[in-house]
A and B are shown apart, each in its own frame.
Chain A
Amino acid sequence: MRISYLLKCVLLTAKSLLRNRIILLLLLIIPAIFFIVTRYTTSNMPVWCKLATVSEETVVTVSQRELAFIFIALAVAGLLSSFLSLTLIHSQINEHRRLIICGYRSGEIIMAKFLLLMIIILSISVYIAFEISFFFKPRNMFGVTLGFLLVGFVYGSYGMLIGTIFRGELEGILFIVLLANLDIGWLQNPIFYIAAQNKAFIRSLPSFFPSQISLVSAFSEYSITRAVCRSIVYGLIFLIIALLIYSLRMRVRKRMNID
């Protein structure tokens, strides 16, 4: 991995992305729309929320609105990250293949995209946390933000994996919508989880640990260390598989060299 090549790729991919003003605008507007809808459709009625990574018996009573804010923020961070990473992988794939012929390595290009994605996810997480702070004060804001960051990491890596597997963008989008809806949009909802019949299945889904990090941090003082480690492992598995497939897809066949 050559650092100067990597940095150049990060810089120019970032420039290319930042010049797409519509995407930037949507990144700012989408979370705000979700939060406004949440604010005007939820009440302060108390609801039970199970902190499953602490223990199956740990239940806290929280406001429906506050719970919804955390849950919706996780969904937004996950969805935006996976869509962005899918776009980053799919955009200009042939141009990147040309760069590889000229001397870039596929690993440098995908790592540059991943680094850029992490910068974007970090920005999105901080921005979402900032917006949430207008509506309520979680007990541990750092932990809540870390949960958003990790859901972004896991779903960003998932988006990369889907982007490397499917050549068509529509197939990729449908796969992202499928998992994101099932997982963060539905099954990780603490109100659903508390009465779910098959908890083992829900616990095996990608956003289980990141969701728990944000929930535990927002409403309790329990430790989140184990959930952080497991989220990182989950994201890394997706990322490594994505890296391998991308390298295979972008490889240039060996030729015999003559001078």
Chain B
Amino acid sequence: MLEDVSFTVNSGSIMAVTGENGVGKSTLLNIIIGWLKPDRGTIRINENFGFCPQDPLLFPRLTVNENLDYFRTAYGSKLGKNEKMQSRPDELLREFDFWSYRDKKVSILSGGTKQKLNLVISLLHDPELMILDEPYASLDWETYQKFWEYAAYRKKESKSILIVSHFMYDQSMIDELYVIKNHKLVCA
């Protein structure tokens, strides 16, 4: 599906990969995060990355807080012991305007709110690199704007973002844009 793909996401940059449906964007991400094995080649990655999948992978019968708690346990040592990191879930809940949903079961949330939670989970451990698969597919306009504000803030903090999406509206925000065409990754 993909041939001779080679790229680097520099620190403090936003890189995007786009392409038509079915060209292998998600396959590329699955290889990067380790769900799929490449036929050959190597992936060098800062293990402190956050992954936001295309479909919200959340536990529907648990509340927002319980989901955050579950993933916070998973991140474990990556979170560290300092107070700032411990209060980060609350901070993110406020930042993305869904503090009032914290005790609600995920199953009753709207698609957009689930996507917000999906995003927040990938940010819980303040990763050096965020890997986002179609991150704004079901976000409302306000959250979409907030997403880009937050992306700009992270860029200033020298954190990197890799976005994979089949459409790219805000190209001005993106430092490097690649397109997958004929199984190859080409600079747009």
Contact = CB atoms under 8 A, between A and B. Distances in A.
Interface in B1-59: 32-37, 42-47, 51, 53, 55, 57-59
Contacts, number: 83
Interface size class of A (residues with CB under 8 A): 20 to 34
Nearest to B49: A101
Interface size class of B (residues with CB under 8 A): 20 to 34
Contacts of A2: 76
B70 interface: yes
Interface stretch (A92-100, A116-124, A180-188): A92-100
Contacts of B73: 4-5, 8, 104
A252 B33 contact: yes
Given A5-B76, A252-B35, A255-B43, A19 B61 contact: yes
A102 B55 CA distance: 16
Nearest to A95: B57
B45 A102 contact: no
Interface in A127-149: none
A259 interface: yes
A255 B57 contact: no
A92 B125 CA distance: 23
Contacts of B36: 253
B62 interface: yes
Nearest to A100: B74
Please name the 6 residue pairs, one residue from A and one from B, whose CB atoms are nearest each other, closest first.
A102-B74, A252-B34, A253-B34, A16-B61, A19-B61, A98-B57
A254 B44 CA distance: 10
B69 interface: yes
B184 interface: no
Nearest to A259: B46
A95 B58 CA distance: 6
A256 B45 contact: yes
Contact of B75 (A97, A103, A257, A258): A103
Question: By CB atoms of chain A within 10 A, which of B34, B45, B125 has the most?
Answer: B34
Given A12-B59, A95-B58, 11 more contacts: A5-B73, A12-B69, A92-B59, A94-B57, A98-B57, A99-B71, A102-B71, A102-B74, A102-B75, A104-B73, A256-B43
Interface string A1-43: 0101100110010011101100000000000000000000000
